[in-house]
Amino acid sequence: MALKDLQDVLNDTHKLPIRGKVYEVESISAELGLRFQALMEVAAEAKKASDAGAEYSPSADDEEVLNDAAEKDLYREALGPAHDLMMADGVKFAQLKLSALYVIFHAVYGDTFAAAYWASGGKAPAPNRAARRTETRTRTGAENSTQKRASRSGTTTRKATPKPGA
């Protein structure tokens, strides 16, 4: 069976409606997607440490990811040419930020999370590894095709016996 070209399968354009205008944002490059993924992983580790009441100490690799992120305008990179259009149209910072994070989350966590983030106005819960695994299984169909194993204990449920006089 011949596979379809991914260009025909994947949606390469995000249509982001803001104040009655639809901004078209191209999907990000593989290089940028990998950078964003690394950044999201560092952010998740920092949040995990914070939630546990510990101070986050980035590793040398994490420091490099964070320095790379600070070096460039992430929102501009995520939105591409749509960034300048949004700025020229006077969109609010919250709208610009939500739009950029939608594109980043779409690349890193998938359609479901990004759509929930957009629909909530940026208040969707932070993704975690379990959510990413569920998203991956749902997209690949693995979750639906895997059956649970039967019990191997060899025991059965005892049948109810009728009560005397019933």
Least confident interval from 40-49, 76-85, 98-107, 128-137:
128-137
* Domain contains 163: no
* Domain contains 4: no
- Give the pLDDT confidence of 25-63 residue by residue, as tens digits: 998 999 999 988 988 888 888 778 778 787 777 676 666
User: To the nearest whole percent, how much of the chain has pLDDT over 70?
Assistant: 65
* Domain contains 115: yes
User: What pLDDT does residue 99 have?
Assistant: 96
* Domain contains 80: yes
- Give me the domain span that covers residue 80: 20-135
- Euclidean distance between CA atoms 166 and 162, whole angstroms: 7
What total of structural domains would you count in the chain? 1
* Domain contains 157: no
The amino acid present at 98, given as its one-letter code, is: L
* Domain contains 166: no
* Domain contains 13: no
pLDDT at 91 over 80: yes
DSSP string across 13-66 = EEEEEETTEEEEEEPPPHHHHHHHHHHHHHHHHHHHHHHTTPPP---HHHHHHH
* Domain contains 55: yes
